[in-house]
Amino acid sequence: MSAPIPVGPAPVLVLVPGATGAPADGGPRFHLADATVPQLSVTDLVATRGDGVFETIGAFDGVPVNVGPHLARLAHSAAQVELSAPDQATLAEAVDAAIAAHEDVAELSVRVMLTRGIEGTGVPTCWIHARVSDDWTPYRAGMRVATLDRGLSTAVAETSPWLLPGAKTLSYAVNMAAVREAKRRGAVDVLFVASDGYVLEGPTSTLLVRRGDEFTTTPASAGVLPGTSVASLFPWLQAQGHQVAERLMTVADVAGSDGAWLLSSTRLAAPIARLDETELPVDAALTDRFQQVLMGRA
């Protein structure tokens, strides 16, 4: 359980001990810790049950994007699993501290993690982990995506909240298994499809589809995670004179579209160049402008 030998800039770890409630002495709410040594108990419920929620924030040239919306979504996810989240001001400060402590790099991936904590204590565990982003260049040029059945209908968000639709939990084993299945099919990512035939989202991304001047995403009411990236892009698209909409779409709608992207905070806009066996048009210039918006530069 020793950490790997670091290569490149060292990751930064910030612990938010106690997770909730101000310390009695009004002292610091978080502190830097050594990311290269073990910091988690084997009985932390994230390790025994995948029981926690998280966010991943992108920081570009040291500037984090959409911190407020990410922390609001974390609070929403936490509420869905009945977990108390630290106050958002503290977390925002901790995110800033992690970025400040990290070597200057172009693209940083900053995770904000909240777990149910060590069994029996009732005290959540919370940490921020900042590391150099993976190199997403090939994905941003256009990627091959496989559609995969998610097994659930678009009605579960309304009927079955205990299935945690729309919560960004740390139970992502199915999401990871789906990406492995996509790779077996010669693709690199997944577009999940509901049991009633509507497209949903990627395992770690939000769908955006273009038809003419209209850009559409899946409504959160279908059980998908409300995307922070699409929430940034929509006002920008409207300012450019485009229409935006949230509407259920079928696989055929995406395959017959004028372009589609999977959006996320660190990978940014990744165009779908091929969906299963169908080639889709890729607009490199528009995608580049999306990246600028998603990096907070437009």
Is residue 252 a contact point for a second copy (CB under 8 A)? no
Is residue 120 a contact point for a second copy (CB under 8 A)? yes
Cβ-contact 100, 186 below 8 angstroms: no
Determine the 3-state secondary structure of 246 from DSSP.
strand
Determine the 3-state secondary structure of 37 from DSSP.
coil
Binding characters for a second copy, 6-45, by CB under 8 A (x = yes): -----x-x-x-x-----------------x-xxxxxxxx-
Q: Which of 89, 100, 106, 163 binds a second copy (CB under 8 A)?
A: 163
Instruction: Using alpha carbons only, give the angle 101, 59, 6 rounded to the nearest 5 degrees.
Output: 50
Binding characters for a second copy, 122-161, by CB under 8 A (x = yes): ---x-x-x------------------xxxxxx--x--xxx
Phi, psi of 27 (to 5 degrees): -75, -170
The Cα 76–Cα 111 span in angstroms is: 16
Is residue 175 a contact point for a second copy (CB under 8 A)? yes
**Which C-beta is closer to a second copy: that of 184 or that of 277?**
184
- Burial of 58 by CB count in 10 Å (0-12 exposed, 13-18 middle, 19+ buried)? buried
**Which C-beta is closer to a second copy: that of 113 or that of 254?**
113
Is residue 202 a contact point for a second copy (CB under 8 A)? no
The Cα 101–Cα 246 span in angstroms is: 39
Cβ-contact 9, 105 below 8 angstroms: yes
**Min dist. Cβ of residue 77 to a second copy (A):** 10
Q: Which residues bind a second copy (CB under 8 A)?
A: 1-4, 11, 13, 15, 17, 35, 37-44, 46-52, 54, 80-82, 111, 113, 115, 118, 120-121, 125, 127, 129, 148-153, 156, 159-164, 167, 169-178, 180-181, 195
